[in-house]
Amino acid sequence: MVDSPAFVKDATCIVGIGQTEFAKALEPSEKQLALTAIKAALDDAGINPSEVNGLSSYTMENVEEFDIARNLGLGDVTWFSQVGYGGGAGCGVVGNAAMAVATGQCDVAVAWRSRKRGARTSRPWAGVGQRVSGHPQWSRPFGLLRPVDEVAMLARRAMHEYGWTRDHLANVALAFRAHANRNPSAQMYGKEMTRQDYTDARWISEPLCLFDNCLETDGASAVVIVRSDRARHCPQPPVSIHAFAQSINRQHQVMTNYFGDDPLEGPAWACARRLWSLADVGPGDVDVAQIYDAFSPLVPLSLQGYGFCAKGEGGPFTDDGALEWPNGRLPTNTSGGGMSEAYVHGFNLITEGARQIRGQAINQVEGAEVCLVTSGEGVPTGALLLTAAR
Amino acid sequence: MIEGILLPELDDDSRPFWDGCAAGELRVQACGECGRLRFPPRPMCPWCQSFAHNWNAVSGRGRVWSFVVPHAPLLPAYQEFAPYNVIVVELDEDPTIRMVGNLVASEYQPINSVDPYSIEIGQPVRVVFQRLGEGEEAVALPRWVRA
Ligand SMILES: [Zn+2]
């Protein structure tokens, strides 16, 4: 157990969620998308923009806090902060807002992510110069260019070391696709996929194929956080932020995490140790999970990191429809996740987690009281435990 | 062929490594106090916090730890070789020292010169160096052949 008082535990709730349309190419600017999602979240919470005095975002966010504030007509903002590492940031962005509200730095905090990824120039590996500086100089010159290549390296090793197969990765892709097929907000709504479609898909970076990758999405999502005593008076069922943790595990290197004693034991492991030590619940109590899925192998790697199975068992854990709603033992990414709903740097996993605890999800897990949400494995990461407020 | 190939930007930490490659030697940073090897290079030893360090020439022998085979879409300079391989090699001297590289048929052959389906994790390899760029700009990249 952590030997310090848990200031954050159940002190705050998510009381509003909002999002834009998700599509490969949307007309509005990133700024307009951010404003639309935040306004929707505030309307959902029944809170006027003038009451917002905390802003939490990603370092990769292009829409600046002052611009959010002067467009939405916020009051005096007294707390603002950002979290780095792209897909590793989401739960930290929400968790930091929870800490700020819990400690009295602000009263109403908004956390959001807005992206126009569909634009080719926004790909992180696009437009790289002839010279590679910093840590990518140890990988990019050799043609390990894209995030998918970097994750594929870990996937191949996991297949070798643990005996995982492409079938395990297909389990992940197919479960999330089936969830998205029922979700009208999802980019893959109604677009079914079979195991044969997966097997026949073109390679992107062997051993990963097209359907092991997340989508390219324009869109935004946002949440509103207040103290739990106030949350009881908000119109929606309050979603308690029960626990929150982040981690940069020892010896870690961002994305090309090949250099520690065991590169398959990524930041999820250290994050999980802290998270569970702060919580009243354990992995066996989780009713539904939202696991960061920029690439399918991150799901079995996270499942074992967060303690749902023994080390090495993350692949086989996905068998027998384990991740599928409604009958799997751990329905996961119930809106379709980054692979089939939308890729908003993992922020749509947080809004879906909140919907599940409210009992308002399209693929609602009956009686869901505990939801684990994770950010990216393979980068400095974070996780949230969302629970039904008592 | 080197048009558009990405080359490392040498910095204070990395320059001795790349200088070693140019001299035909694989050098790994070693702590000047406790002697432990570390890679990628950095100023401080994470085990004893010493700034003192040496650059030790290693045997250049190791094993394939993992590999991938990238396909399009890629940067044009790489796409013309796709599908090619990228490997991670663990060094004989210390298997937790791992380097990203490519398995090639010989030091003069490109990154798609080995059948990717013949690559296996655990295969022994040894380093070779391929010189890219001209004059002052030249850099030698370590690549690997089957040992
Ligand atoms: Zn030392």
Same domain, B44 and B106: no
SS3 assignment, position A340: helix
| Residue A59 CA, ligand 1 centroid: distance in Å | 33
A292 counts as catalytic: yes
SS3 assignment, position A219: strand
Same domain, B147 and B124: yes
Bridge partners (DSSP) listed for residue B101: B87
Instruction: Mark yes or no for CB contact A143/B101 under 8 Å.
Output: no
Per-residue burial over A294-322, b if 16 or more Cβ lie within 10 Å, else e, is bbbbbbbbbbbbbbbbeeeebbbbbeeeb
Whole-structure pTM value: 0.96
Show residues of chain A in contact with B111, CB under 8 Å.
Answer: 142-143
Q: Please give the angle made by the CA atoms of A131, A134 and A135, to the nearest 5 degrees.
A: 110
Encoded tokens for A117: 């990824």
A343 counts as catalytic: yes
Same domain, B128 and B68: yes
Residue B95 belongs to some domain of the structure: yes
Same domain, B50 and B103: no
Domain, as residue range, for B33? 11-57
Residue B94 belongs to some domain of the structure: yes
pLDDT by residue for chain A (390 residues), tens only, comes to 556 667 899 999 999 999 999 999 999 999 999 999 999 999 999 999 999 999 999 999 999 999 999 999 999 999 999 999 999 999 999 999 999 999 999 999 999 999 997 555 545 444 445 899 999 999 999 999 999 999 999 999 999 999 999 999 999 999 999 999 999 999 999 999 999 999 999 999 999 999 999 999 999 999 999 999 999 999 999 999 999 999 999 888 888 889 989 999 999 999 999 999 999 999 999 999 999 999 999 999 999 999 999 999 999 999 999 999 999 999 999 999 999 999 999 999 999 999 999 999 999 999 999 999 999 999 999 999 999 987
Instruction: Mark yes or no for CB contact B6/A132 under 8 Å.
Output: yes
SS3 assignment, position B130: strand
Q: Are A250 and A257 in contact (CB under 8 A)?
A: no
CA distance B66 to chain A (A): 5
Show residues of chain B in contact with A205, CB under 8 Å.
Answer: 68-71
Residue B5 belongs to some domain of the structure: no
Q: What is the CATH number of the domain that holds B136?
A: 2.40.50.840
Same domain, B28 and B53: yes
Same domain, B51 and B63: no
Residue B88 belongs to some domain of the structure: yes
Of B9, B66, B84, the CB nearest to A143: B84
Same domain, B46 and B84: no
Residue B1 belongs to some domain of the structure: no
Show residues of chain B in contact with A152, CB under 8 Å.
Answer: 68
Residue B6 belongs to some domain of the structure: no
